[in-house]
Amino acid sequence: MAEPAFRFETEWVPADEGGEPAYILKLTNRSGRGLEGFRLAVSGPGRVDPAGEVEGGSIGTRLSNHTTFLPPEGLVLQPGETWTITVRKLSWQFRHWNDGARGAYLVLSDGSTIDLKTEPTASRSSNATFKRGIETWPVPAVPPVPVSIIPWPERVVVAGQRTAPAGFAVKAANAAGKAAAEAFASLADALFPADGLSRSEAEGGVPVMLTPAEGLGAEAYRIDFTGEAISVSASAQAGFFYGLVTLGQIWRGAKLYPNAYSFPAAGRIEDSPGMGWRGMHLDVARQFYATSEIRRLLAILAWNKLNRFHWHLTDDEAWRVEIEAYPSLTEIGAWRGEGLPIPALLGTGAARTGGYYSKAAVREIVALARSYGIEVVPEIDLPGHSFAMIAALPELKDPAETGEYQSVQGFPNNCINPAREKTYEVLDRIFEELVELFPFRTIHVGADEVPLGAWSGSPEALALLTELAGEEVASQHARRLNVLTNTHGADDIEGSGAAVLQAVFLERVQKMLAARGCVTGGWEEAAHGNVIDKAMSYLCGWRSVEVSASLARQGYDMVVCPGQVYYLDMANSPDWDEPGASWAGWSDCDKLYHFDPVEGWSEAEKSRLRGIQACLWSESALDRGIADRLIFPRLSALAESAWTRPGAKSFERFKAAAALMPVLYGYP
């Protein structure tokens, strides 16, 4: 294979005792001719700070993590020569090998482009092999328990062992059981198509009777093993389904590791979940996931007995759901690349890339999820994180707005305007379509990370702020225009003009949703101003357990998902060779498993706990091998924390069975 015409390399130089850290980019010309009149475009989680220092070139354009570098004037890069750029004072220091450039290309003087192969960023502090893919524990010869089940049930009393059946021929006595049997057959085929878990008696399937039972909760079940007979008792479809999943897990352990795990000959399993909200959030804006990927993820959630899928459909980087009233949202907002309103970001290249979910695809996904006992919660992130939305619908911005404010991720002027009636007209039509697509009638509206200077250059917003809070507050807010505030952490906007404007926006949006019978979800910043109806809303607490407890004390229903532990995009360790992010720290499976999401909470505060969820923000997930490493086995650890009572948890037991749980891609 011929060598590429150009080689692109990046290196991280950590801070030492006498110097600043540096990010070094090298472009080597291996072609047979000189290169001139070009620029280098680079993207991938790391961002060049607006105040960054660049040696060997200059910055042409910068939008979040997309940066173009210009060579010194008159430079002709001759064959065999290397152009070196050194960047200091980035938005944050690199911690992991995926922090550097994940995508790069050249833009030539005629506007054409040349893609460059990007290699993992090297570090002078580590030469360890870069890690990707799943890393779990081997199944021990003698596990702590005889059956393989994650999450562990409430009560397990089994005895003896029998040969694992060829599969299960499920027989149902009512409609709920029949629906559960169909869903289980679909799930088994999706995850383990060659296992034949669900099969007829003609093919050797052992009968499993689904028996209606009074007095059990909707997600509770009971399994009885009596000789050759197996029965699952439940009061609702979800309970039957979870009982079958438990049987399937026991079967796989006994089939794949017959010398370690067994299939019971007698006994009973009684089970119900500890928490009602057991979820996973997936950001599909930073990186797009095809419908097939979402389908498999839902199957994995179901196998872990998780019951909420928080679908983060929009952000600065993209708008991913079809809205018939506003086709430009996906025509413009779903795509990025060279020359488009949204440039190449987070490792994508010059070519137009992206995608969105048609209404037909959404309906398919929601129906599949519901058959698995999973409710889908869509998120439309508002009023911040809306760069893509504004690119598609510029009427959401005050036409007289001047100047610039920046988000923590480096997006300028990324908040839709709360002072414009057009804003609410557009949202009303969007919500009308979303409510029809998502029957759970819970819509998450984000409300996170609004910059301190948001709308400081908008006459319309400043006029509204004057009306709401007085001239002094409005004047103070106007002075934040063109002042860089949000670079090294999300701004605390409590008490600011931005918080006042966000509060009036959220109050109106929440009423719009409540009028449609919808519960409004938000990140914890939705509590600014204390204006939303607590009876028709809930918050996701992402900063800390203490902040979530404080909000629960104020009367908000809480889903706990602190970034330090439950954000799966955080790396598994602080080491350079581990992929992921680091702004909230790091969390391995052991730490996540043992984490107490309500430590220090009073009983009154615990009464406001809906549950917990893991969150995957997708900056690093262009590489799906990285995605696997970040999600698994930590997702199963969270599932057990949400389902299993604390006194019944055992990390040694969990580790023994973790390798039996399905993964998303299986990439090395």
Helix (H) / strand (E) element for 460: namely helix 459-469
Give the tens place of pLDDT for each residue, 620-661. Answer: 999 999 999 999 999 999 999 999 999 999 999 999 999 999
Q: How far is CA 372 from the centre of its chain?
A: 20
Instruction: Calculate mean pLDDT across residues 362-368.
Output: 98
pLDDT at 227: 84
pLDDT of residue 43: 96
Exposed/middle/buried for 325, CB within 10 Å: 0-12, 13-18, 19+?
exposed
Residues of the chain with CATH 3.20.20.80: 277-572+598-628
Is the pLDDT score of 1 beyond 60? no
- Alpha carbon separation from 152 to 374, 599, 645 (Å, rounded): 19, 21, 9
Predicted pLDDT of residue 18 = 66
**Range(s) of the chain covered by CATH 2.60.40.290:** 6-123
The CATH number of the structural domain formed by 155-271 is 3.30.379.10
- Higher pLDDT pick, 401 / 485: 401
pLDDT of the residue at 489? 66
pLDDT per residue over 533-544, tens digit each?
999 999 999 999
- Tell which phi-psi region holds residue 447, choosing left (phi > 0), alpha (psi between -120 and 50) or beta: left
Region 236-264: mean pLDDT is 98
Query: Is residue 258 very low, low, confident or very high in pLDDT (cuts 50, 70, 90)?
Result: very high
Write the CATH number of the domain with boundaries 6-123: 2.60.40.290
Q: What is the DSSP letter of 131?
A: P
Q: Give the residue range(s) of CATH 3.30.379.10 domains in the chain.
A: 155-271
| pLDDT > 90 in the chain, percent | 94
Model confidence at 92, pLDDT cuts 50, 70, 90, reads: confident
655 dihedral zone (left: phi>0; alpha: psi -120 to 50; beta) = alpha
Show the tokens assigned to 524.
């914890």
Rounded mean pLDDT, 376-381: 98
Architecture of domain 277-572+598-628: Alpha-Beta Barrel (3.20)
| Per-residue pLDDT at 297 exceeds 60 | yes
The pLDDT, as a whole number, for residue 492 is: 84
